[in-house]
Amino acid sequence: MQARQELQSQLETGLATLRLQLPSNAVERLLDYLVLLTRWNATYNLTAVREPAQMVTRHLLDSLAVLPFVQGKTLADLGSGAGLPGIPLAIARPEIEVTLVDSNGKKARFLREAVRALPLPNARVAAMRVEELQGTFDCITARAFASLNEMLKWGGHALASDGTWLALKGRIDQVELAQVPRGFQVTGVHALRVPGLDAERHVIEIRPAA
């Protein structure tokens, strides 16, 4: 793996660019997460991104760019996969209870190992389909695993009445925005500038309709 000091410098520079203040041990724990992900990825193919410097950009900084929009005390990361953005957010905000939701067996196994090994006492794994998730959450993140309409139909029941849904997307599709199902409304579309990433990134804020 690329020299940890180089990756740390890249991560710290990116965090400064994003103007994010994280807990004192967060950078070390984020890098520990990358080490674990790299090790598991060799066998389980959890992510197509394999070069560590690209992981810092496309996984860590891309996930943390949404941090200013996270609210509340509970968060569910739907279709969490390798734990993105849920694990970086759990490390960055240890006061928030994070639920990592994924029905894929090998991904759920990795998520459980990450929660145990890092460790992440404020995170838990829900190995189930989004539709089966119980309870409601102040904040929900979803990293473009489906259209907004589909995501909200499957998981909208888990959003608290005063909660915020954060959909992480690349380019914005106006037709897709217009097809948000009844009972929800788009309250904000924000462009994200991810350091080192030459691609469009947006976070779409959705709330229950008044």
Range of the domain at 127: 4-208
Number of domains in the chain: 1
The sign of the CA dihedral 49, 37, 82, 87 is: negative
Amino acid found at 26: A
**How many CA atoms does the CB half-sphere of 206 hold within 13 Å?**
29
pLDDT at 48: 83
CA distance 154 to 177: 17
CA distance 10 to 19: 14
Cβ within 8 Å of residue 68, ≥6 positions away:
20
CATH number at residue 125: 3.40.50.150
57 Cα distance to chain centroid: 14
Give, for all 210 residues of the chain, the pLDDT tens digit: 568 999 999 999 999 999 999 999 999 999 999 999 999 998 888 888 888 899 999 999 999 999 999 999 999 999 999 999 999 999 999 999 999 999 999 999 999 999 999 999 999 999 999 999 999 999 999 987 789 999 999 999 999 999 999 999 999 999 999 999 999 999 999 999 999 999 999 999 999 997
pLDDT at 1: 57
pLDDT at 89: 98
CA distance 138 to 140: 7
pLDDT at 2: 63
pLDDT at 149: 94
Angle at 31 between CA 30 and CA 32, to 5 degrees: 90
Identify whether the C-beta of residue 154 lies closer than 8 Å to the C-beta of residue 130.
yes
